[in-house]
Amino acid sequence: MEKLWKIAITISGLGGIGAFVFWSLYKEWLTLPIFAKMSPIHTFILMLTFLIFTFFSLLVILFVHVKLKKNEIFYKKKMKSKNEYQGKMIYL
């Protein structure tokens, strides 16, 4: 599966992957019976709201991931420097 995603990204780039994810999430969304009762403007506003919510959710997930990785790297560096000092004897 990982090989498939690598090939897909090389061929279509991130835009193609984004379009595929969009299509996968919303392909049958507009065929729901509730949309027959709504006006086109309301349908558009609802679709836009869900797209914005999805986008900001992904941004929050990305931010948390970067923050956790940054803390992990900082913690590893701190532990490495702490371990270096513990192994050395200081003579006065």
pLDDT in tens, 50-78: 888 888 888 888 888 888 888 777 666 66
Do 40 and 18 share a structural domain? no
Domain total in the chain: 2
65 lies in some domain: yes
Give the chain's mean pLDDT. 76
pTM, entire model: 0.50
Do 38 and 69 share a structural domain? yes
Phi-psi region of 76 (alpha: psi -120 to 50; beta: other; left: phi over 0): alpha
Distance CA 68, CA 63 (A): 9
Residue ranges making up the domain that contains 8: 1-31
Do 70 and 42 share a structural domain? yes
88 lies in some domain: no
18 lies in some domain: yes
62 lies in some domain: yes
Report in angstroms the alpha-carbon separations of 88 from 76, 79, 82, 84: 19, 15, 11, 7
Distance CA 63, CA 55 (A): 12
Tell me which amino acid residue 81 is.
S
Do 39 and 6 share a structural domain? no
Distance CA 9, CA 5 (A): 6
